[in-house]
Amino acid sequence: MKHTAKQIGILVRNTRNRLKITQKDLALTAGTGLRFIIELEKGKPTCQLEKTLTVLQALGIKLALTAPVVKGI
């Protein structure tokens, strides 16, 4: 399944809302600017990866990466 910046933004916004955290408080907790949180939640595709990972961690969102299975090795 291919994930998009828009899907990540929706997940961040929905999780933040469920936790009853404001965008400003999330920005302070994650050490980012408010503008970054706003753009991330809107699905801006050029958001910085390291900051995005920090926000995901601050919200308790788990990220799983799996390498493809390569046959014959």
Each residue of 20-62: pLDDT tens digit?
Answer: 999 999 999 999 999 999 999 999 999 999 999 999 999 999 9
pLDDT score at 5: 96
Length of the chain: 73
Q: Compute the 3-state secondary structure of the chain and give helix, strand, coil in percent, each to the nearest 5.
A: 55, 0, 45
Residue showing tokens 């949180």? 37
Confidence check: pLDDT of 9 > 80: yes
60: left (phi over 0), alpha (psi -120 to 50) or beta: left
pLDDT score at 16: 98
- Let me know if domain 5-59 sits in CATH 1.10.260.40: yes
Domain segments of the chain as ranges: 5-59
- CA-based angle 19:57:55, to the nearest 5? 75
pLDDT score at 73: 63
pLDDT score at 3: 85
